[in-house]
């Protein structure tokens, strides 16, 4: 479900900012971007997000700006510098025309600059606490959008019920038209129409056209959709399944149709189902 949340906090170590974006996706797909000095917290971050969210493509970005009061100048990893000096010397022996890195290049090398010492537990607590607040904001935004989607889906299920009712009302007309058609055809080829034979043919044809079971199942699935929308739990995958079942029944209804109005009902059902299916991809 599409949503955005931003949380800021001024901690002792510096300023923390979480930005979390969520877009539509059938499953939970999580992308985390963090400063290297806070990368040790990534596992805890993933666990926290997995507890709060079940669906969507999630991008979580953490920004950190150390406070000036915490700055202690530039501390260098002298042991690593010695190792780099030896490595550069070895390279120059084997490759005489090798280009030596500049001081800036060396400073950019991972691990050369030692970050200022901080209380990692306190910093992790601040990071995770702010993450929880930002996730709460994101969930609230998604819930508001989910409420609007639920209303839209409920309107579509009501529309589907209307189409099923139209189909039920139309079926006697379809059967009567079939009786007249068979009677007229038999009258063309027989001097005396056998009424019993006509009724037998009508029964056989009506059985092929009978869609009562399909309409009953359609109504059952529509009732289940309305029910799960009120559960307050993650329902996206269940609704996905129900959309497949609705579509199956609508296809059967279309295949059995021998009347343009019944065909129109089946087409309208498929339109309503597709509208619901597109929006259900956004629901957790």
pLDDT tens column, 220-273: 999 999 998 888 777 888 888 999 999 998 888 888 777 788 889 889 999 999
Q: Domain 144-280 is of which CATH architecture?
A: Up-down Bundle (1.20)
How far apart CA 245 and CA 89 sit, in angstroms, is 71
pLDDT at 4 over 90: yes
pTM of the predicted protein model: 0.59
Domain residue spans of the chain:
1-73, 75-108, 144-280
| Number of Cβ within a 10 Å radius of residue 167 | 24
What HEC string does the chain produce? CCEEEEEEEECCCEEEEEEEEEECCCCEEEEEECCHHHHHHHHHHHHHHHHHCCCEEEEEEEEEEECHHHCCCCEECHHHHHHHHHHHHHHHHHCCCCCCCCHHHHHHCCCCEECCCCCHHHHHHHHHHHHHHHHHHHHHHHHHHHHHHHHHHHHHHHHHHHHHHHHHHHHHHHHHHHHHHHHHHHHHHCCCCCHHHHHHHHHHHHHHHCCHHHHHHHHHHHHHHHHHCCCCCCCHHHHHHHHHHHHHHHHHHHHHCCCHHHHHHHHHHHHHHHHHHHHHCCCC
- Do the beta carbons of residue 186 and residue 167 sit within 8 Å? no
Nearest by Cα to 127 from 49, 70, 68, 57: 49
Closest CA to 59 of 30, 26, 25: 30
Mind listing the pLDDT tens digit for each residue in 194-227?
566 666 666 666 566 667 788 888 999 999 999 9
User: What pLDDT score does 221 carry?
Assistant: 93
Q: Which residues of 133-160 are buried (b: 16+ CB within 10 A; e: fewer)?
A: ebbebbbebbeebbeebbeebbebbebb
Query: Chain-wide mean pLDDT for the chain?
Result: 83
Residue-wise pLDDT tens digits, 159-176: 999 999 998 888 878 777
Determine the pLDDT at residue 175: 72
Look at residue 78 and tell me whether its pLDDT is greater than 60: yes
């Amino acid at each position: 479900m599409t949503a955005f949340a931003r949380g800021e906090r001024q901690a002792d170590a510096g300023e923390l900012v979480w930005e979390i974006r969520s877009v539509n996706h059938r499953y939970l797909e999580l992308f985390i971007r963090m400063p290297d000095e806070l990368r040790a917290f990534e596992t805890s971050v993933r666990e926290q997000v997995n507890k709060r969210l079940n669906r969507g493509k999630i991008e979580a970005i953490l920004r950190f700006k150390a406070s000036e009061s915490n700055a202690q100048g530039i501390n260098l990893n002298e042991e690593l510098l010695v190792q780099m000096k030896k490595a550069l010397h070895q390279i120059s022996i084997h490759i005489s025309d090798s280009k030596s890195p500049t001081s800036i290049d060396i400073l950019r090398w991972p691990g050369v600059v030692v970050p200022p010492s901080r209380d990692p537990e306190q910093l992790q607590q601040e990071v995770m606490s702010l993450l929880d607040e930002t996730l709460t904001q994101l969930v609230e935004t998604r819930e508001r959008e989910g409420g609007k989607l639920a209303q839209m889906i409920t309107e579509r299920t009501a529309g589907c019920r209307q189409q099923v009712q139209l189909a039920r009302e139309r079926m006697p007309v379809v059967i009567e038209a079939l009786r007249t058609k068979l009677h007229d055809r038999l009258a063309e080829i027989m001097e005396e129409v056998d009424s019993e034979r006509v009724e037998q043919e009508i029964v056989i044809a009506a059985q092929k056209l009978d869609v009562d079971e399909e309409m009953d199942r359609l109504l059952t699935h529509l009732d289940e959709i309305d029910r799960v929308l009120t559960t307050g739990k993650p329902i996206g995958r269940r609704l996905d399944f129900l959309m497949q079942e609705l579509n199956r029944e609508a296809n059967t209804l279309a295949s059995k149709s021998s009347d343009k109005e019944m065909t129109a009902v089946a087409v309208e059902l498929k339109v309503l189902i597709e509208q619901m299916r597109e929006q259900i991809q956004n629901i957790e």
